[in-house]
Amino acid sequence: MDNKQSFEKNLGELEQVVKALENSDISLDEMISLFEKGVGLTRECTSALDAAEQKITVLMKNRNSGEMEEQPFGGLGE
Protein backbone atom coordinates (compact mmCIF):
# COMPACT_ATOMS: atom_id res chain seq x y z
CA MET A 1 0.00 0.00 0.00
CA ASP A 2 1.51 3.36 -0.97
CA ASN A 3 1.47 6.49 1.18
CA LYS A 4 -1.51 8.03 -0.63
CA GLN A 5 -3.66 4.95 -0.11
CA SER A 6 -2.52 4.69 3.49
CA PHE A 7 -3.30 8.37 4.14
CA GLU A 8 -6.71 8.10 2.48
CA LYS A 9 -7.47 4.89 4.36
CA ASN A 10 -6.49 6.48 7.69
CA LEU A 11 -8.49 9.61 6.92
CA GLY A 12 -11.54 7.50 6.06
CA GLU A 13 -11.18 5.57 9.31
CA LEU A 14 -10.82 8.83 11.21
CA GLU A 15 -14.06 10.10 9.67
CA GLN A 16 -15.80 6.90 10.80
CA VAL A 17 -14.42 7.37 14.33
CA VAL A 18 -15.77 10.92 14.45
CA LYS A 19 -19.21 9.78 13.28
CA ALA A 20 -19.22 7.01 15.89
CA LEU A 21 -18.24 9.47 18.63
CA GLU A 22 -21.11 11.73 17.60
CA ASN A 23 -23.49 8.83 18.22
CA SER A 24 -24.88 9.21 21.72
CA ASP A 25 -25.81 5.53 21.93
CA ILE A 26 -22.31 4.25 22.71
CA SER A 27 -20.84 3.60 26.13
CA LEU A 28 -18.12 5.65 27.79
CA ASP A 29 -15.66 2.78 27.36
CA GLU A 30 -16.41 2.66 23.62
CA MET A 31 -15.99 6.44 23.40
CA ILE A 32 -12.60 6.28 25.09
CA SER A 33 -11.49 3.46 22.81
CA LEU A 34 -12.64 5.35 19.72
CA PHE A 35 -10.98 8.53 20.95
CA GLU A 36 -7.67 6.69 21.41
CA LYS A 37 -7.99 5.24 17.91
CA GLY A 38 -8.76 8.70 16.54
CA VAL A 39 -5.69 10.20 18.19
CA GLY A 40 -3.51 7.48 16.63
CA LEU A 41 -5.04 7.99 13.20
CA THR A 42 -4.61 11.75 13.50
CA ARG A 43 -0.92 11.29 14.29
CA GLU A 44 -0.47 8.98 11.30
CA CYS A 45 -2.23 11.44 8.97
CA THR A 46 -0.20 14.36 10.30
CA SER A 47 3.00 12.40 9.86
CA ALA A 48 2.08 11.55 6.26
CA LEU A 49 1.28 15.21 5.52
CA ASP A 50 4.56 16.34 7.08
CA ALA A 51 6.49 13.82 4.97
CA ALA A 52 4.69 14.96 1.81
CA GLU A 53 5.41 18.61 2.57
CA GLN A 54 9.11 17.85 2.93
CA LYS A 55 9.13 16.29 -0.55
CA ILE A 56 7.48 19.24 -2.26
CA THR A 57 9.79 21.42 -4.28
CA VAL A 58 8.96 24.54 -6.16
CA LEU A 59 10.63 25.59 -9.36
CA MET A 60 11.87 29.11 -8.96
CA LYS A 61 13.36 31.29 -11.62
CA ASN A 62 16.81 32.48 -10.59
CA ARG A 63 16.72 36.26 -10.85
CA ASN A 64 20.36 36.55 -11.93
CA SER A 65 20.73 33.76 -14.48
CA GLY A 66 17.11 33.36 -15.62
CA GLU A 67 17.47 29.58 -15.18
CA MET A 68 15.04 27.38 -13.29
CA GLU A 69 16.19 25.79 -10.06
CA GLU A 70 14.55 23.65 -7.41
CA GLN A 71 14.12 25.06 -3.95
CA PRO A 72 12.50 23.58 -0.85
CA PHE A 73 8.83 24.45 -0.53
CA GLY A 74 9.36 26.14 2.86
CA GLY A 75 11.96 28.47 1.37
CA LEU A 76 9.38 30.74 -0.25
CA GLY A 77 8.03 32.72 2.66
CA GLU A 78 10.60 32.00 5.31
Q: Which pLDDT tens digits describe the chain residue by residue (78 residues)? A: 566 679 999 999 999 999 999 987 999 999 999 999 999 999 999 999 888 877 765 445 555 666 666 666 665 444
Helix (H, G, I), strand (E, B) or coil at 44: helix
Residue 74's pLDDT is 60
pTM recorded for the entire structure: 0.65
Q: How many domains in the chain?
A: 1
Interacting residues of 70 by C-beta distance below 8 A, sequence separation 6+:
57, 58, 59, 60
The boundaries of the domain holding residue 13 are 3-75
